[in-house]
Amino acid sequence: MSSEVQKSEIGKNFHNDKELPQNIEAEQNVLGSILYDNESFDKISESIKENHFYDPLHKKIFSSCSKLINRGQLASPITLKAFFSEDEINFSEIESNRNYLQNLIDGVGNFSAIKDYALEIKECFFRRELIRIGSEMIKDASDLKIEDISEKQIEQAESKLYGLAENGLLEQGPKNFDMVLTDTIKQIDTTLKHDGNLSGLDTGLIDLNSKLGGLHASDLLIIAGRPGMGKTALATNIAFHVASPNNKMASKPVLFFSLEMSSVQLATRILSERSNIDSEHLRTGKNLNENAYNKLIKANTSIYEAPFYIDETPAISIAQIASRSRRLKRQLNGNLGLIVIDYIQLIMGLNKNNENRVQELSTITRGLKAIAKELNIPVVALSQLSRAVEQREDKRPNLADLRESGSIEQDADVVMFVFREDYYHEKMEPIRKSGETEEQLNERYENWKSYYEKIKGQAQIIIAKQRHGPIGTVNLSFNDRFTKFGNFIRNDNIPEGF
């Protein structure tokens, strides 16, 4: 079969001495098989896309067939001509090859070999893109400017290679709304299968799930708070719940970047939370009797089954976080479920002297959001709050308290604050004022103690921003002995005889 092929511009400037990898006959056989029997499209629709074709005319034909078939219409030489006319896609091109569509069908050598032809088309596409990426790397490295950073070029090249390996879509560009609608309907269908209860990853906390709908793919979620509020504990509780098999959902691998604590310290917290053994006892070895040791062994066994990965590299850069996340997702065959970073302010910027830190943090938060979108998984990042919280009478944090960078609020899909009133109230234990009687001090002390007992062990998650849902406050329980957050049960909700 012969065809006047319009040559691609992909290698014009850097590969003139050789013809780019291509197989026009394989492209013709795939298109001919689809036009002969539309059911053949289902055999290869998941493996190749229109941008995998080399010939521009073949790209248009495959794209038009895809649209017609996805609409439940017949894709044939006759309907395809009408479709091109309606969409004003170079109708004269089809007229100049008025028998070309029928010739595609007549020229198919083996209809059953469509999968092999599709594989060859994709293989040629990958080789063309590798040539393009390699040439761009050489050009960028050769034209290095003073303001350019080699590390950034490495990260960009790696991102392109990851995109090629992951889905064959290096530069996605504008999407036709037909494709967007198809993806949207699939997402809605997935949500419906969950019966409207939970469409994202389960946090293990009922009220938080209800407010967020779970942790959603491509979202950047910020957990912020002052030191001592339990940010790391909350992130660890959620992350390990995602990684642990449970009744609601299958476990998902989690990658935890611990920039502040060592992996041993983090593991101690997880063991304490899972075994209900005081974390201080685990650190010091005190009061670990036989019963506690048995609980520890049981918790350790269940923890071994969880796909939980810890990276404790200090002062890691956003480029390294992106690189290691991509690599792990590839190793897990795309099954990475969640990334956690503890915490944003410890991520190293490109400027190692920390000059203009606000601008660097803006770059970091944009990078974290880009990772979430690129890998299509939720990214949970912890953040410190400014000391302004401590100077106010009302210690409840707000968005203005986000430390050093307003871009955290701007780039995040969800911003949550961890707040424990008992932490602050405990520090306000009454002391005798000048001229105060013993009775007056005792009265103030009893009032303080009564309120402290009422709020002790309670925590609040203040959802100050949620791009796709409501804001509000979620009440949780918190056990500081086990660094463990749990579902909050009011006294009036406790069953009789409990």
Which tens digits make up the pLDDT trace of 405-429?
Answer: 667 888 889 999 999 888 888 888 8
Which residue has better confidence, 234 or 82? 234
Report, as an integer, the average pLDDT of 187-195: 53
What is the mean predicted confidence (pLDDT) over 177-182? 55
**What is the chain's length?**
498
Cα angle 22, 25, 26; round to 5: 75
**pLDDT at residue 228 tops 50:** yes
- Look at residue 452 and tell me whether its pLDDT is greater than 60: yes
Q: Are 124 and 288 in contact (CB under 8 A)?
A: no
The lowest-confidence range among 147-151, 303-307, 455-459, 472-476 is 147-151
This prediction has a pTM of 0.64
Q: Is pLDDT above 50 for 170?
A: no
pLDDT, the chain, mean = 77
Write down the pLDDT at residue 380: 94
Higher pLDDT, 234 or 264: 234
How much is the pLDDT for 82?
Answer: 67
What local confidence, expressed as pLDDT, does residue 162 receive?
67
Cβ partners under 8 Å of residue 393, min gap 6: none
Return the number of other C-beta atoms located less than 10 Å from residue 58's C-beta. 22
Longest CA–CA separation in the chain, Å: 106
Instruction: Read off the pLDDT of residues 272-294 as tens digits, 9 standing for 90 and up.
Output: 777 777 777 777 667 666 676 67
Residue 345 is predicted with a pLDDT of 85
Q: Map out the domains of the chain with their CATH numbers.
A: 24-181 (1.10.860.10), 200-417 (3.40.50.300)
**Does residue 472 have a pLDDT over 70?**
yes
437 pLDDT tier (thresholds 50, 70, 90):
confident
pLDDT on residue 257: 92
* pLDDT, mean of residues 205-213: 88
φ, ψ for residue 254, nearest 5 deg: -125, 135
Q: What is the pLDDT of residues 328-386, one digit of tens each?
A: 888 888 889 899 998 888 888 765 555 567 778 888 888 899 889 888 899 999 988 88
Q: For the purposes of burial, counting CB atoms within 10 Å of the CB of 9, is it exposed (0-12), middle (13-18) or buried (19 or more)?
A: exposed
